[in-house]
């Protein structure tokens, strides 16, 4: 069984619970997806499927190699392809099978993976949450990083040192979000809380790997 689905973040809103509480939710277009390729332990060394998110209109400009890849699966070309691991011994997923949003249930916990928003060049206070220096007049050390290495030895900045630089556009996974509503007809999923990325960004929704008890 495929325990994940590809989708797109549509935005955030709020719904009312049965007891009247306001619940912040993210609206996700989840599927429909189609299995483009099947990988097996005998041939590839692991069990997985390659899913494609079906969107209309389909992309017009694709390479001949990718066109043949979709033609072999009997599927229309798609923009968003991702590979999803399967549990060992999974034999119920084949090329051409559909993966729909009704594979998820209300109150189920899911992990959502996306690409975070780009923030451009950022300093250490914003990027790494440094405390900064004193704020009084004359300190000249308000938002500077402080010491980044010794001068005598090794006389260089070590790799991996936290510093100012490009922020965002990272692969981020938010775990254990609760499914609030499932709309099978509209291929839509409502999950409690926020997910990474901008509106219109692609996401991967999978059943939680380590759900809270």
> pLDDT category, 89, cuts 50, 70, 90?
low
- Whether residues 142 and 201 fall in one domain: no
* Residue 178, domain CATH: 2.40.30.10
Residue 176: CB atoms within 10 Å = 15
Q: Decide: 133 and 139 in contact? Cβ < 8 Å.
A: yes
Helix (H) or strand (E) holding 192: strand 188-192
Boundaries of domain holding 16: 4-117+170-207
At 110, list the tokens. 């899911």
pLDDT at position 213? 61
When divided into structural domains, the chain yields a total of 2
Summarize pLDDT for 100-153 with one digit per residue, the tens: 888 888 889 999 999 999 999 999 999 999 988 888 888 888 888 888 888 888
Assess whether 79 and 99 both reside in one domain: yes
Q: Which residue has the higher pLDDT, 191 or 63?
A: 191
pLDDT attached to residue 124: 93
Write out pLDDT tens, residues 189-206. Answer: 999 999 999 999 999 999
Q: In this structure, are residues 201 and 115 in contact, taking their beta carbons and an 8 Å threshold?
A: yes
pLDDT classification of 55: cutoffs 50, 70, 90 = confident
Nearest to 143 by CA among 154, 156, 130: 130
DSSP classification of residue 157: P
Q: Around 72, how many Cα atoms within 13 Å sit in the side-chain half-sphere? A: 10
39: exposed, middle or buried (Cβ count in 10 Å: 0-12, 13-18, 19+)? middle
Residue 40 has a pLDDT of 83
Q: Kind and range of the H or E element at 65?
A: helix 64-73
My answer on whether 158 and 89 are in the same domain is no
């Amino acid at each position: 069984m495929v325990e994940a689905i590809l989708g797109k973040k549509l935005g955030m809103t709020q719904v009312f619970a049965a007891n009247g509480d306001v619940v912040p939710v993210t609206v996700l277009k989840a599927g429909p997806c189609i299995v483009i390729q099947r990988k097996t332990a005998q041939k590839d060394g692991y069990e997985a499927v390659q899913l494609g998110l079906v969107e209309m209109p389909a992309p017009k400009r694709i390479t001949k190699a990718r066109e043949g890849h979709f033609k072999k699966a009997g599927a229309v070309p798609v923009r968003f392809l991702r590979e999803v691991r399967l549990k060992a011994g999974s034999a119920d997923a084949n090329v051409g099978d559909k993966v729909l949003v009704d594979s998820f249930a209300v109150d189920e916990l899911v992990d959502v993976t996306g690409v975070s928003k780009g923030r451009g060049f950022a300093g250490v206070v914003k990027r790494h949450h440094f405390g900064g220096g004193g704020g009084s007049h004359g300190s000249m050390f308000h938002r500077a990083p402080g010491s980044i290495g010794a001068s005598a030895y090794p006389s260089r900045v070590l790799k991996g040192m936290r510093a100012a630089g490009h922020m965002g556009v990272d692969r981020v996974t938010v775990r254990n979000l609760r499914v609030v509503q499932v709309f099978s007809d509209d291929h839509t999923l409502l999950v409690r809380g926020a997910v990474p990325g901008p509106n219109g960004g692609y996401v991967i929704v999978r059943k939680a790997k380590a759900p809270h008890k």
